[in-house]
Amino acid sequence: MTEAEQRNGSEAANAAQREETSTPQMLVRKYASAVLGLCMARTKNFHDSEDIMQEVFLKAFEKFGTLRDQRRILPWLLKIASRMCIDYQRKLRPCRSISEDIPAMPDYGNQHITRIHQAISELPEGYREPITLYYLDGRNCASVARTLGISEDAVRQRLVRGRLRLHEILSGDKS
């Protein structure tokens, strides 16, 4: 057998393998156990893992044309599954207000500081959280933005509006 015939034979085998795995049914049959295993390792829940696995294959079928190297189907599927498991865990994480951890009126023995903390606790939560993180926690705008999931410009705007509200509260003009 010549070298050209061997190359043609291996190319034909690769093409046949690509055709075999390119149908949705074949993708599921071949890679479902690996995807499910990864999901199980991440979520520790069989039923949630099955749901995520189904979503992974749905997304894979939609985006299959974007896969450049057909030989890298498994790593591609596992990457999709990993990201979907992360998204799933984010959805499960309980949301709680950041300001819950900060006492409204700590007892520093200083009447002015106590009044400022009381005024901060009277702010709406949208202003209270950025003010607390920025001034009391000593964070910068970028860190506050990442924590709250908003842009830095939004943090700056809330700080300005929050300071104005604090001024109104502290000066006795609660209009």
Q: Are residues 127 and 58 in the same domain?
A: no
Question: pLDDT tens for residues 89-138?
Answer: 888 877 665 555 555 555 555 677 778 878 888 888 889 888 888 887 78
- Position 126 scores a pLDDT of 87
pLDDT, position 174: 47
The pair of three-digit structure tokens given for residue 66, joined into one six-digit string: 């974007």
pTM of the model: 0.44
Residue 130 and residue 86 share a domain: no
Q: Are residues 30 and 75 in the same domain?
A: yes
Based on the domain organization, do 115 and 67 belong to the same domain?
A: no
* Residue that finishes a domain, picked among 50, 71, 92: 92
Residues 79 and 18 in one domain: yes
Give per-residue pLDDT as tens, 10-20: 554 454 444 44
Q: Mean of the pLDDT values across residues 66-87?
A: 84
Question: Domain containing 20: what range?
Answer: 14-92
Number of folded domains that form the chain: 2
Q: How many residues does the chain have?
A: 175
Per-residue pLDDT band for 2 (boundaries 50, 70, 90) equals low
Last residue of a domain, one of 92, 111, 127: 92
pLDDT of 9 reads 54
The enclosing domain of 37 has a CATH number of 1.10.1740.10
Q: Is the pLDDT of residue 160 over 90?
A: yes
Share of the chain above pLDDT 70, in %: 76
On whether both 68 and 120 belong to a single domain, the answer is no
Mean pLDDT is lowest, of 3-7, 59-63, 154-158, for 3-7
8 vs 87, which has greater pLDDT? 87
The secondary structure of the chain, three-state, reads CCHHHHHHHHHHHHHHHHHHHHCHHHHHHHHHHHHHHHHHHHHCCHHHHHHHHHHHHHHHHHHHHHCCCHHHHHHHHHHHHHHHHHHHHHHHCCCCCHHHHCCCCCCCCCHHHHHHHHHHHHCCHHHHHHHHHHHHCCCCHHHHHHHHCCCHHHHHHHHHHHHHHHHHHHHCCCC
Dihedral sign (CA 167, 171, 172, 175): negative
Q: Which of 92, 109, 129 is the last residue of a domain?
A: 92
**Predicted confidence band of residue 175 (pLDDT cuts 50, 70, 90):** very low
